[in-house]
Structure 1
Amino acid sequence: MVDVRYDIAFKLYPYQKGADQDLAPRRHPVVIVGGGPVGMALALDLGRKGTPVVVLDDHEGVGQGSRAICFAKRTLEICDRLGAGKAMIDKGVQWNVGKVFHGDERVFEFNLQPEDGHRAPAFINLQQPYFEKYLVDEIRVAQSDGAPIEIRGRNAVTGVTPQGDHVVLDINTPDGPYQLEADWLVACDGARSPTREMLGLSFEGRVFEDNFLIADVKMKADFPTERWFWFEPPFKDSGASALLHKQPDDIWRIDFQLGWDIDRAKELKPENIRARVDAMLGEGAEYELEWTSIYTFQCRRMEKFRHGRVLFAGDSAHQVSPFGARGANSGVQDADNLAWKLDLVIKGLAPDRLLDSYSQERVHGADENILNSTRATDFLTPKTEMSKIFRNAVLSLAHRHPFARPLVNSGRLSVPCVYDGLSLNGPDALNGPATNRVGATCSDAPLRDGFLLDVVGGVFTVLAINTDPPALAEVGGITVNTVTLNTQTDDPSGAIAARYLGDAPCGIYLIRPDQHVAARWAHASAADIRSAVGIATGKGQ
């Protein structure tokens, strides 16, 4: 069962025959295959930077069903920089609190964002079709402002042929096949990536022997806006675990853990799904089934995400279990990492090897996500009786003793990774808080007018706190913005001082376009900044 309303309401880029289809293959700077959250975020970011991009999608709009629903704070910050964040937050169901149950006993609850002073919530629940729609809406705004972005619906890529300094694409449309060429091709075409298959590239990892049923139901309910997770839930025939989330439009996402040896066709029959939902909600509960599916956990990735002129992002490059909301969130972070690097390389402002750092950093992020997803899955689905005894002992202890609660793993929720020790990192010469160390994403904080992340990101930024920055508008043609703050006048909550200085009286941060810290110092000269920009753009010292 699928929710066809999504396709009807969000047919955002209907097929139109283009000029390329009647010409010899034309060359484009960037072609993106796949119009999901990752492809659209990347296209929007590149287009706003002035880099021409063509998106090829085999549909004419967003896909069916809600699929991904949990979008994390970091993803919302990226989308806010791109212009789409507010619409997402306004539509989404915001939540910070989660509760964990064992049987009918509440084990504990947690708050993912206990401190104030952030524009974005820890998470919103928002059906993926809405998330994609708001990105496309912002692309339309960008196009009206002159951004060189083109979306081609019902353009299915059937062949990919690398040719040294470009890639040739074979494309099928309702008006027949045609070819085009791309200086750079980015595959954002999902876990079953046809691009990856056509290039014969491997996708290695682990498939877990378990199945989970998703049921999106439409109902009126007064449950609080929280994430509820049950180990060994008390409602009959519900499986080994269950999860309940609220979405917009009175839609609730329910997950049931079914086990490995199941009859999928039988489990997907509406009457059997209703039996499980009725057991959870109680006999007589009024609801409609909106969308259902069965999925299997997989934790896999490609060995590297760059293959010459072809780059992979999102599920085409890596795949993790849904518990923890690491799939779409990590994919949008891929796009955030790649966009500024590809833009600088295309404009001749950075060497080609900068794109190797995309693979290095995002493989690092994928490995962290896979590690956390694997641990969560092993905790959810103990493989031996002794493992189950240990798991249940942890749950019993966690109910009474806080020390045991970090051991409970119902899906460690998505946070951005820190690029500790990687090649683009400059010096960390400030005895400041570890939260904003070199390689980390910048923490948001309130200013007198707005928030810190409003004024850093998109371009390289020098953030000077309680000190005068060196006068520097560009480095080797690369724009460098400068933001100067005084904690006495610009830091009403004290969050800037706490999150960026700690015990240090002053500091200077160099922040990358993707809002990762590239370097930091107590004091810095123009030469220090130039050197750190050189490192961060793949030029070395």
Structure 2
Amino acid sequence: MKIQETRMNRPFKPYPFSPRHHEGVAPPLVDGRDPLRRPVAIVGGGPVGMTLALALARHGVRSVLIEADDSVCIGSRAICISRRSLEIFKRLGVVQGFLQKGLPWAGGRSFYRDTEVFRFAMHHDDEQSLPPMINIAQYQIEQLLLDEVERHADLIGIHWQTRVTGIEPEPAKDSRAGPDSTSGATLTLRTGDTGWQMHADWVVACDGGRSTIREALGLKLTGTTYEGRYVIVDIELDSRRATERLAYFDPPSNPGSTVLVHKQPDNVWRIDYQLRDDEDPEAAVKPANVLPRVQSVLDSMGETGAWSPIWITVYKANALTLERYRHGPVLFAGDAAHLVPIFGVRGANSGIDDADNLGWKLACVVNGSASPRLLDTYSDERVFAARENLSYGMKSTEFMAPPSFAFNLMREAVLGLAERHAAVRPLINPRQTHAIAYTQSPLNEAAANTPGAFSRGPAPGSVLPECRLKRMEGGVSADIHLTDLLASCFTALRFGASSDSAQEHAWQELQRTLAGQGIAFKAVTLVTDETVYATSPTVIDHAGSLHERFDATPGTVYLIRPDGHVLARWRNGSAAATQRAIGAALTI
């Protein structure tokens, strides 16, 4: 195929982004060791590592990031950030940058050859404060997080250009200590020509799919590795086309295979196309082979503007996970813990969820308000979530890149029938990422819930749904959303103001008691009548929709974890029950 030189500009253009480069500097050493006590060392300064550092900082916990590179990443890599991840960034105080830079979208279209066969829309209504998804390149994600990390320099340190060459977990010094006790781990590091060691009470491996920590400990990922490969190409193209997910099956540009297209900020477009089994991956990423195929994709889309290539790489789908994410003082998160196929955008989003789950639990352990056994629930919950993500991701992968003749035959039949038969179209659904409920979490049982007391509403382990509300302050009301009430603390949602002064005093006393124990907590009262006031912060559910959705009556209490999941709920809640539930969770 001849390349149309008038429309494809050469040479390769740089990204419209100039990363800052950072020196690699080892700390002052004593006998080759860092003399400072490090509560938490996070290996890997990508989106997962930085999210975890920010989550710990919200609880006043110091951490140090160890990053092998000298800047944020190059290449678009992870490009889709889900509503759930945006909610996490909202609690961490960084969401505005994502909303300003990212391109929101709520659905997509799938084509078979030149015919549209499926259109999907993610849930989005007037109750939502955040879009279902935004497109934003990983280097932009990392820069936004890094900017916030640097604003917390008093709590978060970074060692750039520093590689881990070894790790040695240390047993508890007291032989009488229980199985959960640990003396931390020693990391062997290299910064430039300087080799040195760091001791940390806890080490979190966020160092990606080729995790050095995982390899050093001899741990293996298990699951499915797919033979199919995708070429990923970023190009610069000025187009007014709407932001949506576009999928092309058996298009003229890639006969027998698939193409995915995403619009990104700054006129950058991401094109992923599947390689046929007979194509050599090394040859496939050479510009001479990539650029004609990209031109054909753009021709089939009707894009006539000039374009320039920026970045080319190749990707192989994996559906793998560790069996456990805690190994003594070492914990795993993100791609170091699990590798999820790109279809359904679960990779970076699941890693951000890992960091959110681990952040508050590790902070409570470091601060002394929780037993180290709480970290086992991180493993329990996030391994469960990984298996859910892998299940959905494998289904999407088997449709996008059929692993056998039988799967390919099924896909061709579905695509061929979809134009005329609506009943088969849902089989084309890409199964986009969604918040996962920890329905079997040991924390739910520890919190002593009462099954059957509610006919609806978010059950323990679930993430809260969004809802519009009003907050009253000084006689002035302000529009807010339910997620605006959540922070990096336990939150009790109390439905209905109480006229019982003793009860109100008990809630105030609970907050003081927990604060004295180093446990962040707040109680919020929700009422339906603006004329009703309470001594605790009051929020107006003016239409009663939240009461209805939560099956709430006066006295109902929902206790929310710092990561936004429901810990417990009571038809007739109290400060005493709330205190017991928090205590049981932290000492599980």
Question: Do these two structures clear the TM 0.5 threshold for a shared fold by scoring above it?
Answer: yes
Partner of residue 452 from structure 1, selected from 482, 500, 520: 482
Structure 2 partner of 1:443: 465
Aligned position for 1:536: 585
1:507 is displaced (CA, Å) by 2.6
1:436 Cα deviation from its structure 2 partner:
1.7
Q: Which amino acid in 2 is paired with 1:446?
A: R
* 1:389 equivalent in structure 2: 409
Residue type of the alignment partner of 2:135: N
Q: How far apart in 1 are the matches of 2:246 and 2:557?
A: 42
Matched, 1:258 2:278: no
Q: CA deviation at 1:406?
A: 3.0
Q: Provide the rounded CA distance (Å) in 2 between the counterparts of 1:288 and 1:118.
A: 37
Distance 1:358 1:152 in 2: 26
Aligned-pair distance for 1:221?
1.6
* Superposed displacement of residue 3, structure 1: 7.3
Whichever residue aligns with residue 569 of structure 2, its letter is R
The TM-score, its normalising length taken from structure 2, stands at 0.86
Instruction: Please give the secondary structure, in 1, of the residue aligned with 2:266.
Output: coil
Name the amino acid aligned to 1:156: R
Instruction: Give distance in 1, aligned partners of 2:250 and 2:543.
Output: 43
- Unaligned 5+ segments in structure 2 are 1-10, 172-182, 471-477, 499-503, 531-539
Q: How has the CA–CA distance of structure 1 residues 238 and 177 changed in structure 2, closer, same or farther, with 3 Å as cutoff?
A: farther
Contact 1:190 1:316 in 2 (8 A): yes
Q: Which residue of 2 aligns with 1:463?
A: 493
Which of 434, 440, 463 aligns to 1:415? It is 434
Residue 384 of structure 1, CA deviation: 4.1
- Residue 424 of structure 1 is matched in structure 2 by 443
Q: Report the residue type matching 1:422 in the other structure.
A: S
Contact 1:17 1:175 in 2 (8 A): no
Partner of 2:150: 140
Residue deviations 1:24-66 (CA, integer Å, cap 9, x gap): 4433110000000000000111122111101110112211111
Show CA shifts across 1:371-413 (max 9, x none).
111111112233444433332333345445554333224x321
Letter of the aligned partner of 1:357 in structure 2?
T
Structure 1 contact 430–522 (Cα < 8 Å) conserved: no
Give distance in 2, aligned partners of 1:310 and 1:493: 48
Q: Cα gap change, 1:477/1:533 in structure 2, threshold over 3 Å: closer, same or farther?
A: same
Partners of 2:213 and 2:169 lie apart in 1 by: 11
Task: List aligned pairs for 1:26-65, cutoff 5 A.
Answer: 26=35, 27-65=37-75
Q: Secondary structure at the match of 2:50?
A: helix
User: Larger C-alpha radius of gyration, 1 or 2?
Assistant: 2
Task: Name the amino acid aligned to 1:500.
Answer: F
Aligned equivalent of 1:223, options 228, 237, 241: 241
Match of 2:369 in 1: 349
Secondary structure of 1:118's counterpart equals: coil
| Structure 1 residue 496, shift from structure 2 partner | 2.1
Paired residue for 1:278, among 295, 302, 324? 295
Give the equivalent residue in structure 1 for 2:525. 484
Paired residue secondary structure (1:265): helix
Q: Distance in 2 between matches of 1:68 and 1:290?
A: 16
1:485 corresponds to which letter in structure 2? Answer: L
CA spacing shift, 1:304–1:25, aligned 2, 3 Å: same
Equivalences for residues 125-136 of structure 1 within 5 A? 125-136=135-146
Mapping 1:148-167, distance limit 5 Å: 148-164=155-171, 165-167=183-185
Are 2:239 and 2:305, in contact at CA under 8 Å, matched by a contact in 1? no
The answer to whether the aligner puts 1:500 opposite 2:550 as a matched pair is: yes
Structure 1 pair 349/267, CA: closer, same or farther in 2 (3 Å)?
same
Native 8 Å contact 1:278 1:284 kept in 2? no
CA drift of 1:237 comes to 3.3
Q: 1:201 aligns with which of 219, 232, 243?
A: 219
> Following the alignment from structure 1 to structure 2, what is the Cα–Cα distance between the partners of residues 324 and 2?
29
Alpha-carbon separation, structure 1, partners of 2:261 and 2:579 = 50
Matched to 1:480, the amino acid is F
Distance apart, 1:497 and its partner CA: 3.0
Compute the displacement of 1:477 (Å). 4.6
1:328 corresponds in structure 2 to: 348
Residues 1:18 and 2:38 are matched in the alignment: no
What residue in structure 1 maps to residue 360 of structure 2? 340
The answer to whether the 8 A contact 2:491-2:522 is kept is yes
SS across alignment from 1:266: helix
Query: C-alpha separation between the residues in 1 aligned to 2:457 and 2:289?
Result: 48
**Residue of structure 2 aligned with 1:188, choices 206, 220, 227:** 206
1:304-356 Cα deviation digits (max 9, x unpaired): 00000000000000001111111100001000000111111111111110010
Q: Counterpart of 2:198 in 1: which secondary structure? A: strand
**Which position in structure 1 is the counterpart of 2:259?**
242
Deviates more, 1:13-22 or 1:134-143: 13-22
Q: Say whether the 8 Å CA contact 2:249–2:256 is kept in structure 1.
A: no
Q: Is the 8 A contact 1:226 1:246 kept in 2?
A: yes
**Change over 3 Å in CA distance of 1:523–1:20 after alignment to 2:** farther
Is the 1:4–1:64 Cα contact (8 Å) retained in structure 2?
no
What is the total number of aligned residue pairs between the two structures?
532
Cα deviation digits, residues 467-515 of structure 1 (max 9, x gap)? 547512144552321011113441246542343237x566310000001
The AA in structure 2 aligned to 1:420 is T
Deviations 1:251-291 (A, max 9, x none): 11111111333212221121211111111112965211111
- The amino acid of 1:96's aligned partner reads A
Which shifted more, 448-457 or 491-500? Answer: 491-500
Counterparts of 2:274 and 2:113, CA distance in 1: 14
Is contact 2:85-2:349 (8 Å) kept? yes
Supply the RMSD in Å over aligned alpha carbons: 2.3
Q: Partner letter of residue 95 of structure 2?
A: G
Shift of 1:205: 1.6
- Which letter maps to 1:316? A
One of 389, 392, 396 as aligned partner of 1:369: 389
Looking at structure 2, the residues matched to 82 and 258 of structure 1 have their Cα atoms a distance apart, in angstroms, of 40
TM superposition shift of 1:175: 4.4
d(CA) in 2 for partners of 1:292, 1:67? 11
Corresponding residue SS for 1:395? helix
The CA distance in 1 between the partners of 2:15 and 2:298, in whole Å, is 25
Deviations 1:125-152 (A, max 9, x none): 0000110111111112233xxx411011
Change (3 A) 1:530 1:320: same
Structure 2 counterpart of 1:405: 425
Structure 1 residues 428, 60: closer, same or farther in 2, change over 3 A?
A: farther
Distance in 2, matches of 1:377 and 1:434, equals: 34
| Aligned mates of 2:65, 2:31 — CA distance in 1 | 19
Going from structure 1 to structure 2, the CA distance change for 1:218 and 1:499 (only over 3 Å counts) comes to: farther
- Structure-2 separation of matches of 1:310 and 1:273: 42
Distance 1:54 1:178 in 2: 15
Give how far 1:109 is off.
1.4
TM-score normalised per structure 1 = 0.93
Identity over aligned residues, as a percent?
A: 39
Q: What's 1:79 paired with?
A: 89
Q: Secondary structure at the match of 1:259?
A: coil
